[in-house]
């Protein structure tokens, strides 16, 4: 039976986002493979962390591309983005909690590139009058990502039902980010 690397990476993100010091045995068990199989795919913990980070950032970038972040009504685009990202919220929780990722120049460059796109999206929304202008676009981007990571943790811990998570995220975020009439 062939091992699906994406499934292993998702399982690793689930485990590591809840327990950053989890042993490779625990990660292998969560992925449904042996530790030896895990080592054949990833020669060590550092390689696994880097691979999970790249996988998570690629999925995040794919979502930005899929919703056409640079085009269309910003509120509707944000809603589509949330619907697209919530199933991968555990990956965002991993990214938010794994400090070793910031030592990798390739990951950092990809993270910065995607962050620039999200900041530009919120700036566009501000210019269109959809988002509050007294909050910096960079802060809106950061707060959005942090809420998304929080959704990942809340789902994992059973504090938020997966079916309710997109609604909860968008309502909380837009309730705080929506521009108020003057």
pLDDT in tens, 18-67: 898 999 999 999 999 999 999 999 999 999 999 999 999 999 999 999 99
Rounded to whole angstroms, how far apart are CA atoms 35 and 27?
A: 8
Q: Are 18 and 98 in contact (CB under 8 A)?
A: no
Burial of 79 (0-12, 13-18, 19+ CB in 10 A): middle
With a CB cutoff of 8 Å and minimum separation 6, the contacts of 178 are: 130, 131, 132
Give the single-character DSSP code of 97.
H
Domains of the chain: 5-177 (1.10.357.10)
Sign, Cα dihedral of 121, 127, 131, 132: positive
Local structure of 1: helix, strand or coil: coil
Rounded to whole angstroms, how far apart are CA atoms 59 and 47?
A: 18
pLDDT in tens, 74-117: 999 999 999 999 999 999 999 998 877 888 899 999 999 999 99
Question: CA end-to-end span of the chain, whole Å?
Answer: 62
């Amino acid at each position: 039976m062939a091992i699906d690397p994406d499934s292993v990476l998702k399982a690793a993100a689930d485990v590591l986002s809840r327990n950053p010091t989890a042993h490779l045995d625990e990660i292998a068990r969560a992925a449904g493979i042996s530790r030896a199989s895990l080592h054949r795919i990833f020669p060590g913990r550092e390689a696994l962390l880097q691979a999970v980070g790249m996988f998570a950032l690629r999925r995040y970038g794919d979502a930005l591309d899929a919703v056409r972040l640079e085009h269309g009504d910003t509120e509707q685009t944000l809603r589509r983005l949330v619907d697209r990202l919530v199933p991968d919220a555990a990956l965002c929780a991993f990214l938010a909690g794994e400090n070793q990722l910031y030592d990798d120049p390739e990951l950092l460059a990809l993270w910065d590139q995607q962050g620039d796109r999200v900041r530009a999206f919120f700036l566009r929304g501000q210019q269109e009058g959809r988002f509050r202008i007294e909050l910096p676009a960079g802060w809106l981007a950061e707060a959005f990502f942090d809420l998304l990571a929080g959704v990942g943790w809340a789902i994992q811990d059973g504090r938020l039902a997966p079916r309710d998570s997109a609604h909860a995220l968008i309502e909380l975020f837009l309730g705080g980010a929506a521009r108020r009439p003057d």
